[in-house]
Amino acid sequence: MSNVRGILGACAAIALSVIAPSAWGDCGGATATGPVISIGGDVTEIVYALGAGDRVIAVDITSRHPTEARALPQVGYMRQLSAEPILSLAPSLILAIADAGPPTVLDQLRAAGACIALVPDDHSPAGVIRKVEAVAAALGRETEGDALAARLEAEFAALRASVGAVKDQPRVLFLFSVGEGAPLVGGRNTSADSIITLAGGRNAIDGFADFKPVSSESIIAAAPDVLLVTDLTLEKLGGVEGLLRRTDIAETPAGKAKRVVTMDSLLLLGFGPRTPQAISQLATALHPSFVAPQAAN
């Protein structure tokens, strides 16, 4: 471990969840120019959107956009990290979404002298802006961060007006995982719940919070007008017909109408710089009368 300390130097650790952007950057000047490991697909998207993608030397497996990130070395899944592969790359800065971990690994990284900046996570337009500000401050790119935040704020405002003009609110059931057992669905206080609401829909599951498995009876009782799934989930099932082979899903109003909306998981749930695009895409699928504002395209 002493060798690792020698590699990383005296970079001080930061362990923050929600913090003012001005408090970032206490790891020393190297964090503004040195190599970065980015953990969390939304964090990685923001780094690239700020024009700092050339500093990224490794990512986690959720970092699938932009395509350049996919070619980089991977350090595992953001909630199942290991200290050794991260430390071996000698980053000046580890940028990670707030719920990255496990905590014991973050403690190991800090003990080795790693500079860690945890980016606050909130599934809302304001939360996206806070992420941008935090990442920009950690990277020393505040000017670019201000410009990106201003653009996103304008796009969110335009979308609020367009979605607000739509009168219907279809009930949407988000199916995160569908297999032989009970499907995993998105309840209240999830990224799925937030994006459905922002796009002018109503979450068909409001009896519980978080992502949880549900019974066939609960799916039928939810009576969704629309089934929302990720591209990967639908691909694994063999398309819409594969999804509707489940009788509980097929018996819902959405199943009977074969009204299925599919989107890329990171775009849909990531709450990063492409979230205006996600809102616009989902709103277009939910509402025949929706007119996307120019700023969201």
d(CA 9, CA 11): 6
Q: 261: number of CA atoms within 13 Å, CB side? A: 25
Q: Which residue bears the tokens 């694994």?
A: 236
Tell me what percent of the residues of the chain surpass a pLDDT of 90: 86
What domains sit in the chain, N to C, each tagged with a CATH number?
2-140 (3.40.50.1980), 171-296 (3.40.50.1980)
Outline where DSSP puts E strands in the chain. Answer: 36-39, 56-59, 93-97, 116-119, 171-177, 184-186, 202-203, 211-213, 226-230, 260-263
pLDDT for 72-122, tens place per residue?
A: 999 999 999 999 999 999 999 999 999 999 999 999 999 999 999 999 999
The closest of 189, 49, 200, 242 to 131, measured between CA atoms, is: 49
For the record, the structure tokens of 256 come out as 């009977």
Residue 174 has pLDDT above 70, yes or no: yes
What distance in Å separates the CA atoms of residue 283 and residue 266, rounded to the nearest whole number? 17
pLDDT band at 179 (very low <50, low <70, confident <90, very high): confident
Mean pLDDT across 213-241: 96
Residue pLDDT, tens place only, 148-167: 999 999 999 999 999 999 99
- pLDDT for the residue numbered 118: 96
Asked whether the predicted pLDDT for residue 178 surpasses 70, the reply is yes
Q: Is the pLDDT of residue 20 over 80?
A: no
Per-residue model confidence (pLDDT) at position 29: 55
Per-residue pLDDT at 181: 84
Band the pLDDT of 33: cuts 50, 70, 90. confident
- Rounded CA-CA distance 126/202 in Å is 20
